[in-house]
Amino acid sequence: MNYQELCAEVQSVAREAGGFIRGERQKISARDVETKSTASFVTYVDKTSEAMIVEALHKLLPEAGFVTEEGTATNRGQRFDWVIDPLDGTTNYIHGIFPCSVSIGLLEAGRPVMGVVLELGLNELFYAWKESRAYLNGAPVGVATASRSEDTLIGTGFPYYDFDRIDDYISALKYLMKNTRGLRRMGSAAVDLCYVAAGRFDAFFEHALHPWDVAAGAFILQQAGGRITDFNGGNNWLFGKEIIAASENYFPEFFEIIHSHLGTR
């Protein structure tokens, strides 16, 4: 397996899907928006772009299975699985704001080995493959160097369907509001993770996520020198619906903050 060559092909797939998504933006109307839940939406753009991506990736790696947001393909592979969010940030997209992104990750034996995230607003392509560095539009990127909360900018996402832990979540937000340079809620977890990888955010946390939200961006972040765990310091962040991600320097302090508010006691 030549991961670098495969990653280049996947970047082309992401750009093709991104071109379709951009081209459809002015055609979207209210009747095209389906409601999954109160704050979760899907459009024909999500479904069509996912079908495009699945078809293209199947040609690149026929033996691979798929984990997809819209359920276009659900067969699992013996060794490889693609993890696809065809439009991460659909709510942003239908409201005409950014960021939103195409996110494609590759798992080998259940572990991420490739990530490609195309942010559509600034046309920024983040990517990495097994044993590579992390890249943004062809240039290497790396995590920030701050080690104290007062020097950090934090990315997060707000719960939109699982509100069982909302009080603890708000408690964590209050602490971070008082003790960091600020919080940002962008609306695309894939982009948030890439922003940590590129040193724009120092850390990111969120719960009630899905594997297609984090697979690609988290791998890119790891290749950029970042560290990732679940809220209890374990490795169940891909399918466990919770993630703490930060630069290596800041991770120890950030983990203690999030774990104290959201970890299992």
Tell me if 88 sits within 8 A of 102, measured CB to CB. yes
In CATH, 149-262 is 3.50.50.60:
no
SS3 105: strand
pLDDT at 264: 83
Distances in whole angstroms, Cα of residue 77 to Cα of each of 14, 145, 197, 209: 21, 38, 29, 23
Class of domain 3-141: alpha beta
Query: pLDDT by residue (tens digit) across 107-151?
Result: 999 999 999 999 999 999 999 999 999 999 999 999 999 999 999
Predicted local confidence at residue 37, as pLDDT: 63
pLDDT of residue 160: 79
Task: Tell which residue, 47, 48, 64, 46, has the closest CA to residue 9.
Answer: 64
pTM to 2 decimal places:
0.95
Q: How far apart are CA 99 and CA 120, in angstroms?
A: 7
Delimit the domains of the chain by residue range: 3-141, 149-262
Q: Give the tens place of pLDDT for each residue, 224-244.
A: 999 999 999 999 999 999 999
Instruction: Name the nearest CA neighbour of 45 among 102, 125, 129.
Output: 102
For the cut 90, the answer to whether the pLDDT of residue 29 exceeds it is no
Tell me the torsion sign for CA atoms 10, 11, 14, 15. Answer: negative
